[in-house]
Amino acid sequence: MHLEQGTVPRDYQSYLDRKVRWIVFGILVAFFLFVMAISVGAVAIPPLDVIQTLFGISASVKWERIIWNIRLPQALAAVIAGIGLAIAGVAMQSILRNPLASPFTLGISSAGAFGAAVSVVLLGTGNIHSTVANPISISNPYLTTVVAFIFCMLATGVILMISHIKGASPEVMVLTGVALSSLFSAGVMFLQYFSTDAQLAAVVFWTFGDVGRATWDMLPLMSFVVGAGTLYFIANRWNYNAIDAGDETAQGLGVDVSRVRLVGMTIAALISAVIVALLGVIGFVGLVCPHMVRRIIGDDQRYLIPGSAVMGAILLLASDTVARVIVAPFVLPVAVLTAFMGAPVFIFLLFRGYKR
């Protein structure tokens, strides 16, 4: 059929421009917080000197060392993990058609914690060292990370297999995730019950997600996985919009719904697994950032995905900065702060309703 040519309505264009402006504003806020995150800490560095140092103009050798060796990798990890958790959350909410879905709905966090517990208790990688920077640390972080990652992917594999056999229905995926989550949590409790005080502390410590664990050698892997995942989700934004309109509508529009679900779920799980294995469990970001953005710029995935990525970076940077100053000289793990920081903002947005 043929439709006569219409025009690009001006009011529609300005409606889209408004969304773009929100995202650009978010990026500016994120950059501001990025500088603040580097500036604030045991030694305060003036924000201007931070910017100079980042652009390669040396302000002072001492600050250069602090920034490049300690603060920058931590701030970058906050940005990358924030983006990764938030886009995994957006994708899971769309794939599972469930507003409560998050990167951890499929039991990835419990699986990771169980993996860490196995490593600490059974493989003996846990120990207590007392240093100023880290009150408790794990004696072999590499092995712990690897084992945690293996269990994360094991959980994903089980859900994929069951979804593949039973058809990729959101109900099957969610319920399998809940079951696996409980199973791994029980496993962690079992191991904790038989562990020594030191091992118990190490396991509990591991589960507190902390971007302070990030080192330069972690960042390439994290950025690659999160970057590739973000690109994938953005490339599939129309498919997610279609699935949001209902499975049958999506199929009528030529979208292979089962395939989009399975691939999207795998990528979201991979992103979450890498972040959990490297930094521990950081809750709330993946669940709430997408909803915050929905309240501001709506459900259109074309803007929701990039918007959530920016919001994830903002929330994690802000939480990490506050975590380092709130009870100084003690440093809280960021996971404690994400909910403290995010929940009031989120409740405010829920209370206010949608932006018109």
Partner 1 sequence: MTEMLTVNELKFMYRNRNVLEKIGFSIEQGQVVAVLGPNGVGKTTLLKCLNRILRPREGAVMLDDENLLGLTTMEIARRVGYVPQRVETGRLTAFDAVLLGRRPHIGWDVTPRDIAIVDAIFTKLGMESLRLSYIDEMSGGELQKVAIARALVQEPKVLLLDEPTSNLDLKNQVDILTTIRDIVRDHKIAAVMTMHDLNQALRFADTFIFIKNGSVYIHGSNDIVTPSVIEDVYGLPVMIGEFGGIRCVIPGACKIA
Contact positions vs partner 1 (CB under 8 A): 1-9, 11-12, 15, 235, 238-239, 241-242, 244-246, 248-249, 251-256, 294, 298-300, 354
Cβ nearer to partner 1, comparing 10 with 330: 10
What is the spatial distance between Cα 280 and Cα 223, in angstroms, rounded to a whole number? 16
Cβ nearer to partner 1, comparing 11 with 197: 11
Minimum distance of partner 1 from residue 257's CB (angstroms): 9
Cβ nearer to partner 1, comparing 3 with 61: 3
Minimum distance of partner 1 from residue 98's CB (angstroms): 13
Minimum distance of partner 1 from residue 7's CB (angstroms): 6
Residue 173 sits at φ, ψ, to 5 deg, of -65, -50
What is the spatial distance between Cα 275 and Cα 84, in angstroms, rounded to a whole number? 8
Cβ nearer to partner 1, comparing 36 with 253: 253
Minimum distance of partner 1 from residue 349's CB (angstroms): 13
What is the spatial distance between Cα 113 and Cα 206, in angstroms, rounded to a whole number? 8
Give the DSSP H or E segment for 332: none
Minimum distance of partner 1 from residue 250's CB (angstroms): 9
What is the number of other CB atoms lying within 10 angstroms of the CB of residue 165?
8
Residue 62, CB-side half-sphere exposure with 13 Å CA sphere:
4
Minimum distance of partner 1 from residue 310's CB (angstroms): 18
3-state secondary structure of 126: strand
Cβ nearer to partner 1, comparing 104 with 303: 303
Peptide bond just before 329 cis, omega within 30 deg: yes
Beta bridge partners of 126: 138
Cβ nearer to partner 1, comparing 5 with 130: 5
Cβ nearer to partner 1, comparing 220 with 353: 353
Minimum distance of partner 1 from residue 247's CB (angstroms): 9
Which residue from 191, 188, 119, 104 is spatially nearest to 152, judged by alpha carbons?
Answer: 104
Minimum distance of partner 1 from residue 203's CB (angstroms): 41
Cβ nearer to partner 1, comparing 4 with 217: 4
Spell out the residues 6+ positions from residue 17 whose beta carbon is closer than 8 angstroms to its own: none
The letter for the amino acid at 340 is: F
What is the spatial distance between Cα 96 and Cα 240, in angstroms, rounded to a whole number? 11
3-state secondary structure of 222: helix
What is the spatial distance between Cα 239 and Cα 289, in angstroms, rounded to a whole number? 21
Are 323 and 88 a contacting pair, CB within 8 Å? no
